Amino acid sequence: MTTETISSTPSPAGLPHRRRWITVLIWIMMVPFAAWAVLRAAGWDAGFRWIQLAAFTPYVAAASVVALLLALSLRRWTAGVAGLVIMGAFAWAVLPRAFADPAPAPGGTALRVLASNLARGAADTKTIMDLVVRLKPDILTLQELTPEAAERLEKAGIRKALPHMVGEPTPGVWGSGVYARFPLRADQAALNYGNFRQSVAVAPERNLQIVSVHPCAPRFDYKAACWAQGLRALPRAGTGAEPYRILAGDFNATLDHAIMRELLATGYRDAADVTGQGLIPTWPQQGWEPVPGVTLDHVFADARIAVRSFGVHRVPGTDHKSVFAELELPRAAR
């Protein structure tokens, strides 16, 4: 009686079939990364789901390395070349935010800007005031500023540090305001799309226009339109004798949204990007499992204004970190 031994080693005839399936699986893995890179590069901001997903582009960029390494490790060279192209497209889009731009020589007038989303007015007033005392901002922009929050800030002494204010405190998420050390006037009615009021103020002595930015959040399909309208309504960057312009607050968008890149292309610079800190998440402050943090809060300054530093600060009671930028106006702007 004989015993037959069954080998688990694939037969030579089965090896090509197995290799083909591995190649197919690698290409299937590549497709979502390629589609994401193409949509991002093409500037497609349609559909509220894509608007939401685009904010997570830096994480997708990091994950694309896995597909590339898998292709190279299995010697699928064509797929590896495709992976390199995809990763290169992501690197071109994302990596510059992690490197500081050359700084111009000092010689202007310092201007410090602090921005904070108060989460329906629930942000801790003491922490906001501590930041005002410690950072000494010349301008403070607040979003989701409610009448109750404005009253608490008044009682805490906000007007001693920043005596001038333009804004529309409003119940819920819709209010905003601009506080400053120097005189302000309302330049126009607040930019109002979807009931989100983005306060616009002018400092005549500084030839400066400031907007407390807060377009509607694209949480639902019907919000996508007012999100785009609110961002497109923001003033373009100033040139020549036009006022210097600063946009600060919760943009509900990242630099991976085409509408933000279009705004920057008018002549703004993002303070976080300029200082090499453009990948620091600002929302959600604590992180929501399984949602990682993204960079929704920004300080945009037009190109005539130098950017010296940038930082983020935690504030209890809100899901957004505060953002702070040290800027420098040309000397003639005082």
Q: What is the DSSP letter of 242?
A: S
**Residue 142 · residue 125 · CB < 8 Å:** no
Can you tell me the distance from the alpha carbon of 88 to that of 83, in angstroms, rounded to the nearest whole number?
8
pLDDT of 16 reads 67
Q: What is the DSSP letter of 237?
A: P
Q: What is the dihedral of CA 142, 144, 146, 150, to 10 degrees?
A: -10
Q: Using alpha carbons only, what angle is made at residue 249 by residues 276 and 145, rounded to the nearest 5 degrees?
A: 150
pLDDT of 47 reads 84
Task: Return the SS3 of 193.
Answer: strand
pLDDT of 283 reads 95
Rounded to a whole number of angstroms, the CA Rg of the chain reads 25
Q: What type of residue sits at position 133?
A: V
pLDDT of 242 reads 93
Can you tell me the distance from the alpha carbon of 291 to that of 284, in angstroms, rounded to the nearest whole number?
8
Can you tell me the distance from the alpha carbon of 144 to that of 170, in angstroms, rounded to the nearest whole number?
8
Residues 6+ positions from 114 with CB-CB distance below 8 Å: 131, 132, 135, 137, 139, 140, 141, 248, 322, 323, 324
State the helix-helix crossing angle for 15-42 and 57-73, rounded to 10 degrees: 150
pLDDT of 334 reads 55
pLDDT of 1 reads 46
Task: Return the SS3 of 135.
Answer: helix
Tell me the average confidence (pLDDT) per consecutive run of 10 residues in the chain, 334 residues long: 50 65 86 94 87 96 92 87 94 96 86 98 98 98 98 98 97 97 93 95 96 95 94 94 96 98 97 97 74 93 96 96 96 64
Write phi, then psi, for 333 (nearest 5 degrees).
Answer: -80, -5
